[in-house]
Every structure is written in C-alpha cells, then in structure tokens.
Amino acid sequence: MDATERLVYDSEVSAAVLGKGDCFVLINSDNGSVAATEAARAEGFYFCGVVGLKSGRVELEIASPDRETVRIMGFALREFADMCSANLVPESDFTNWMTRLHALVDPRTQV
C-alpha cells in the first residue's frame, strides 16, 4: 500500500483532488462518483493528490511537487474543510448532559 492509499484508508474523511489551472474538483473517497471522475478527466483535469482528515489533522499526499499542483492542493483545502464541517454532528443535549455528569466530583474519592 503506497502513501496515498494509506492516507485514504486511515482517514475519517478523504477526497481525491483533480485539477487544471486554477480549477479543481474534489471527489469524496467514500461516496465519490466514477462518472464525476471520468467527466473531470475528459475535461483535462489531472490527479493532483489526496487530502484527508485523520485524528483531527488534515494531511495531504501530493502527486507531483510542481508549482501548479501544489497551488491546486492549497485551493482544495478550503473546500475540503467545508466538506468535513458539513458532516459534523452538532452536540446533542445528551452530549452536554454527559459532559456535565463527568465533571461532577465523585464523593467516594473525597478523603
């Protein structure tokens, strides 16, 4: 398994980045469409790399360290962050209740 495959495998969320000039397309690794990938390739977009969210950190695997590819990957980070934040689950009342519960002092441990 190469580094790109490892990033996709280990990430909670990941996406392939296809780019051309100042334009790019993010293809979600979990539910990305083969048709969308083929359409982008037909329009001249090329594989720039993969971006993934892994243990709370954003990681990149850049396909080629040339100037244009690195710029496209930089542009794609903002949209990737938007994609990740759209999937976040808001805190529920249960989460808040559990946080408060675990913050209580346990009298059994008081001496």
In tens, the pLDDT along 62-100 reads: 999 899 999 999 999 999 998 888 776 666 778 788 888
Q: What is the pLDDT of residue 50?
A: 95
Residues contacting residue 69 through CB under 8 Å, at least 6 positions apart: 19, 48, 49, 62, 63
SS3 label, residue 110: coil
pLDDT per position as a tens digit, 5-61? 899 899 989 999 999 998 999 998 877 778 888 999 999 999 999 999 988 889 999
CA angle 9/80/68 to nearest 5° reads 95
Q: What is the pLDDT of residue 90?
A: 67
Number of domains forming the structure of the chain: 1
Residues contacting residue 107 through CB under 8 Å, at least 6 positions apart: none
Domain that holds residue 13: 3-109
